Structures are given as C-alpha cells and as structure tokens.
Amino acid sequence: MRAIDFFCGAGGLTRGLLDAGISVIAGFDADVRCKETYERNNRPAQFYERDIYDISAADVWKALDSRRTNDLLIAGCAPCQPFSKHQRSSGRASGVKAGQRNPDATLLEAFSRLVEAIRPAQILIENVPGLAKVKGFSTYRRFLKMLRENSYEVAEGVLDAKFFGVPQTRRRYVLIATKKRNPSLPSADYGTGLKKFVTVREAIAHYPPIQAGQRHPTVVNHQAAVISETNLLRLRSTPHDGGDRRTWPTELGLKCHQANHKGHTDVYGRMAWDRPAPTLTGRCISVSNGRYGHPSQDRAISLREAASLQTFSDNYVFHGNQQHIAKQIGNAVPVKLGEALGRHILSLNQPTK
C-alpha cells in the first residue's frame, strides 16, 4: 500500500505508517520549516511545501508517478484549532473577528475536494473530537456526504492514544473510509484487561538531568526552556510527582487565581511519574501552558522528553528553533497511534477467510 500524508508537519503519522509497512511517498504541508525534520527522518518520503488550497490532483499524480489508486491511502490531519473545545466555546479562533469564518475551518473542504478528484481506495482522517460536534450542516457533515456519494463506507469514532501504547492521554477523532465493505477502527491494545498503560516514567526517566534553559551536550534535542526566577520559585513550591499550584505560598499565586479561584490546576503543574502524560500541545515545553512540569526536576519537560511522550524514537532528530520544534512535536500524530492505524488499515485489505 502507498500513501500520501496531507498536513504532514514533522512526520508523526508518516513515521507511524512507515513503521506499519505502508510506503509513504510524500508529505504535503504549508510550513516549510518542517521539511528538514520530515525528510531526514522519513526517507524516501519527500516533503512538498504546498498550501492545501493550491494542491491539485495533478500534483498528487506527479508525486506518485502514477494514477493508480487501488492501493492508495490518503491521510489528512488538518490543523485542529477551528474545532477545538476552546475555540468553539469562545466562538472564534484567535485573530478572527466575530462573524468572520476562520480560514482554517475550510481546510477539510479543500481536502474533500482532493479526495473526490483522486478517489483513493482508503482515506484516514485524524483530528480533535470537536470536529464532529460542530452544529448544523458543517464542513464535517458535507465531507461525510461526499464520501457516501462516492461509494465509500465509513468507520468513525474517538480513540485515546494511551490505549495504543502512547504514554499520554490524547483523545482524537478518527475516520477510516474505504470502498471495501464494513470498515472498522482498531481495538485497544492497552487498558483494563490488556497491557498496562505506558507511563511518563517509562517514557522519560532514562534521560539525564538538565536544568531549565540547558541543552544536553550529547542527547539530541534534550533541551529545556528558560523560565523566569518567579516561575522557578513556583516550581520549587510544587510537590514532585503530580503536584500543582495549590501548595504555593500566597505571594507566588497568580493574580487570576486570587479571590478563591477554583479553576483548573494543570497550569504550572508537574506530570505524575506513574500515569500517562496529559495531552501535549505546541506549547508543551512551557510550564505556564499546562501540566508540563517535569515530575521531579525544576523545569518543564525538554523537547526530547516531549518527543518521547509522542512516541518518537530517540533517533528521530528535530530541526529548527526551540519554539518551532515544540510546535512540531506537540502538533504531531503520536507515532504509535499512527502505526496502529496503519496496521489496521492494512488488515482491512486482507482477504477474508
């Protein structure tokens, strides 16, 4: 089976599909800063810097060097901001005025146009659960209508990456469409009655200690963000192994947390050693953006540790500046989830006994 990965980013899904035994020919993404990371770690797949709105079926045929589709998988993991819980609750994405439509919200429409023109044998979508919850005759529902009109059968639902060997709670909407009958989603390998969930300890405990703002001299990408003196004091006041801001002395509290604030306690919190990590984002190396504090060291998790929590191997080297590498890692499909999806799609194509 061959595949094209749209919105490929740094290549988490591509790497997972490759590990499953699928030949990924190319990745398309508008962010050229991902090119070096993608191509160096996923040879011989090639990176094409193209905006989804500008890609034509002819571009895909050229990348494939063939118009054969009976063994073709097209995967699309569009940026999820327009469909996130936060954006839906606020009514708009950052930088988009009320009454305006976020341009990113039409990415699925552009992907749908390509699918309809190419008509691959298999389609894979991965996104936040909110994609399927937009009210009305949404982009998502129009996409499903297009699939039905083109004789695809669909399996869809929400999967949590931790049930597939990822040391992270990460709930994602997954859709698999095929022209073969009765597609399905993969079954969990981890959880109650199965293998034990992979933990933060298993993923990152083996990395050598570093301080905030330090880069390890030999472990690639093992670099921690600089933090302010005040935030360092806050971390030192946060109990190890899952602690949070509720133990801080009053003078270290945030203004927004005063007056008996009862909101979320994840911000500035530490990860717990023996549980899966919380969902990583593109700001996963910042203690002020979530429960991204190291379980025992006074710093946020490093880029390398974040990559491991996304199940990238230690020889998967990320290129770019610190902030963009964090975005590459946090926005990626966890490799092990991608591999599980790839293996399952291959199994759907096996002849039934």
- In the chain, the domains with their CATH numbers are 2-192+333-348 (3.40.50.150)
Give the integer Cα–Cα distance in Å for 309 and 168: 6
Location of structure tokens 């491991």? 308
Lowest mean pLDDT among 164-168, 208-212, 232-236, 254-258: 254-258
Residue range 121-178, pLDDT digits in tens: 999 999 988 777 766 557 888 999 999 999 999 999 999 999 999 999 999 999 999 9
Can you give the pLDDT at residue 217?
97
Residues 41-55, mean pLDDT to the nearest whole number:
95
- Over residues 47-67, the mean pLDDT reads 94
Active-site residue flag, 80: yes
Using alpha carbons only, give the angle 33, 332, 169 rounded to the nearest 5 degrees: 155
Mean pLDDT of the chain: 89
pLDDT of 262: 59
Q: Which amino acid is at 20?
A: A
Preceding amide of 44 cis, omega within 30: yes
Token pair 């293998």: residue: 195
Alpha-carbon distance 166 to 160, whole Å? Answer: 9
Beta carbons within 10 angstroms of residue 328's beta carbon: 27
Q: How far is CA 150 from the centre of its chain?
A: 29
202 pLDDT tier (thresholds 50, 70, 90)? very high
Of the pLDDT bands very low, low, confident and very high (cuts 50, 70, 90), residue 77 is confident
Closest to 161 in 3D by CA, of 263, 265, 17, 277: 277
* 98 pLDDT higher than 90: no
Tokens describing residue 283:
């700001």
Residue 129 confidence (pLDDT) = 84
For residue 87, the one-letter residue type is: Q
Rounded Cα–Cα distance for residues 353 and 347 (Å): 12
Catalytic residue among 8, 34, 77, 80: 80
How sure is the predictor about 229, in pLDDT bands with cuts at 50, 70 and 90? very high
- Who's near 92: CB < 8 A, 6+ residues apart? 98, 100, 102
d(CA 20, CA 17): 5
User: For the chain, what's the residue count?
Assistant: 353
Query: How many whole angstroms separate alpha carbon 294 and alpha carbon 128?
Result: 25
Q: Give residue 276's pLDDT band: very low, low, confident or very high (50, 70, 90).
A: very high
Q: Please give the radius of gyration of the chain, using alpha carbons only, rounded to the nearest integer.
A: 21
Q: Round to whole Å and give the CA distance between 232 and 307.
A: 23
Q: Is the pLDDT of residue 272 over 60?
A: yes
